């Protein structure tokens, strides 16, 4: 079944100036650069009354498969390591310093061969699930790379099945909803050079699927 979707790049959350006024954000950025061996840019997302969402961009000078190797060795990321603060604890520390609710609304990872965009689906979802998401990327790498023959140049985590049509999926960039952590591990959207449009990756069945893909308005 053909896929229907406009470019994700035209639908990403709005960014603001990277010079945020949040206390502790520079220390947070330096910690991420140290643990991920990357250049990190942090911006604030669209303002909300009750919470400030951060947009984190991580630029890593390695391929995805190289990064997965170092991640599995415990040398890259792995913020669950007992000797490192967790992503959630770092966000909580900044929340206390600023006396305001902070969260990560989007975490984008730019590698030499692909970009991974992880979107928030409930409060603290990215800090809570980041390590597990990256572990699942490693487990599914052979399957979504077409048996190691082609790496997608963009990966979007997650997408949602349209409740009105089981053959459709929805790129759902809502910031807070009734979603749970299991929703990160159902469907992802992938872009390949060999494909005109995006392809849905079904994690539960470890396979690529064609299907209609629609973008929800922010």
Per-residue pLDDT at 129: 95
pLDDT band at 46 (very low <50, low <70, confident <90, very high): confident
Number of C-beta neighbours around residue 216 at 10 A: 12
Mean pLDDT for the chain overall: 82
pLDDT, greater one: 69 or 3: 69
Per-residue pLDDT at 212: 61
- pLDDT, tens only, 53-90: 999 999 999 999 999 999 999 889 876 666 778 899 99
- pLDDT, tens only, 12-43: 444 444 545 899 999 999 999 999 999 999 99
Q: Cα separation of 215 and 218, whole Å?
A: 9
Does the pLDDT at position 166 exceed 80? Answer: no
Number of C-beta neighbours around residue 51 at 10 A: 16
Tell me the whole-structure pTM to 2 decimals.
0.84
Per-residue pLDDT at 47: 66
């Amino acid at each position: 079944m053909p896929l229907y979707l406009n470019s994700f790049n035209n639908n990403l959350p709005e960014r603001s100036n990277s010079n945020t006024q949040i206390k502790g954000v520079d220390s947070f950025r330096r910690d991420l650069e140290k643990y991920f061996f990357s250049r990190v840019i942090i911006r604030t997302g669209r303002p909300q009354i009750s919470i400030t969402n951060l947009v984190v961009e991580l630029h890593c000078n390695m391929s995805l498969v190289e990064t997965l190797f170092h991640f599995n060795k415990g040398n890259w990321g792995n913020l669950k390591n007992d000797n490192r603060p967790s992503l959630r604890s770092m966000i909580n520390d900044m929340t206390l310093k600023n006396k305001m609710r902070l969260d990560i609304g989007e975490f984008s990872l730019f590698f030499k061969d692909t970009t991974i965009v992880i979107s928030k689906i409930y409060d603290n979802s990215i800090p809570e699930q980041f390590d597990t998401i990256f572990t699942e990327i490693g487990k599914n790498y052979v399957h979504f790379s077409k048996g190691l023959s082609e790496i997608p140049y963009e990966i979007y985590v997650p997408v949602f099945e349209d409740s009105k049509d089981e053959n459709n999926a929805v790129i759902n960039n809502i910031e807070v909803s009734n979603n749970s952590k299991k929703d990160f591990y159902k469907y992802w959207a992938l872009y390949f050079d060999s494909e005109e449009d995006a392809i849905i990756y079904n994690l539960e069945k470890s396979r690529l699927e064609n299907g209609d893909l629609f973008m929800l308005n922010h």
